[in-house]
């Protein structure tokens, strides 16, 4: 038996999130993406460990060799998958944060769930003998503060997010207790590739704006083998 963390980028209701489990529901929680202290610690969105039961802008403590630990005393950050709530003009704090944090479920399943990607705007089919869990957009990686960032294997369910957003994660400042979207944080998505454009000249440069974004983002489907 394996555990599959189902990170729902637009699921605000924990009740709705529970409907994703096609087998036994283990827990319902919140979707953490990454933590950032002196160094970075990417938390893969497709695994059960990314589904924390409780939220804090500072979910970790750091300790040294002298057996001294410090909490919320530096400019440490945490990153969370976000919902489709409108982007706020200013940082949010306290109970306002809740509406921006994605919910997730951890389910016990009889087989491993995997993501398949089309590199096209069409939905890829599950292999013969596999069934669909959900369809989405191919999420590759993201940047964080400085030169840091994170991502996951494209076979991971965490690489197939049900909804596309240019900003699928929110940054929380631990010591300040606030969260916000920042212009210098980027998301990277698997792009579409025309069959006829393989092994030819360099791809032409493009700038896509609102209304055009989904035309160049690969589609995906998360599948589970029938046993």
Phi, psi of 159 (to 5 degrees): -85, 0
Q: Per-residue pLDDT averaged across 29-51, rounded?
A: 62
Question: Strand pairing of 160-161 and 2-7?
Answer: unpaired
Distance, in Å, from the CA atom of 122 to the CA atom of 42, rounded to the nearest integer, reads 30
Using the predicted structure, report yes or no on whether residue 43 has a pLDDT greater than 70: no
Q: Could you read off the pLDDT of 4-14 as tens digits, one per residue?
A: 434 333 343 33
User: Higher confidence at residue 47 or residue 67?
Assistant: 67
Worst-scoring range by mean pLDDT, 30-39, 71-80, 100-109, 163-172? 30-39
Q: How far apart are CA 105 and CA 107, in angstroms?
A: 6
Mean pLDDT, rounded, of the chain: 81
The helix (run of H) or strand (run of E) holding residue 18 is helix 14-18
Q: Is it the case that residue 53 has pLDDT exceeding 70?
A: yes
Name residues whose C-beta falls within 8 Å of residue 113's C-beta, 6 or more positions apart in sequence. 4, 133, 157, 222, 223, 224
For the chain, domain boundaries: 2-196+211-225
Mean pLDDT across 35-47: 56
Q: How far apart, in whole angstroms, are the C-alpha atoms of residue 101 and residue 12?
A: 7
pTM over 0.85: no
User: What is 2-196+211-225's CATH number?
Assistant: 2.170.240.10
């Amino acid at each position: 038996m394996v555990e599959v963390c189902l990170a729902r980028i637009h699921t605000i209701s924990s009740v709705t999130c529970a409907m994703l489990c096609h087998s036994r529901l283990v827990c319902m929680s919140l979707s953490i993406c990454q933590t950032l202290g002196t160094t970075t610690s990417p938390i893969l969105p497709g695994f059960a460990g990314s589904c924390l039961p409780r939220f804090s802008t500072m979910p970790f403590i750091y300790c040294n060799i002298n057996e001294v630990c410090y909490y919320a005393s530096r400019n440490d950050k945490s990153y969370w998958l976000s919902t489709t709530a409108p982007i706020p003009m200013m940082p949010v704090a306290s109970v306002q944060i809740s509406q921006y944090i994605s919910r997730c479920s951890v389910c016990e399943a009889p087989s491993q769930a995997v993501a398949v990607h089309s590199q096209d705007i069409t939905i890829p089919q599950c292999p013969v003998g596999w069934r669909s869990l959900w369809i989405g957009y191919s999420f590759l990686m993201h940047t964080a503060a400085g030169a840091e960032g994170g991502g996951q294997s494209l076979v991971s369910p965490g690489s197939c997010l049900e909804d596309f957003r240019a900003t699928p994660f929110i940054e929380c400042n631990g010591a300040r207790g606030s969260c916000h979207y920042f212009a210098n944080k980027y998301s990277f998505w698997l792009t579409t590739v025309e069959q006829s454009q393989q092994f030819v000249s360099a791809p032409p440069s493009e700038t896509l704006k609102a209304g055009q974004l989904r035309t160049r983002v690969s589609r995906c489907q998360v599948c589970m083998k029938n046993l």
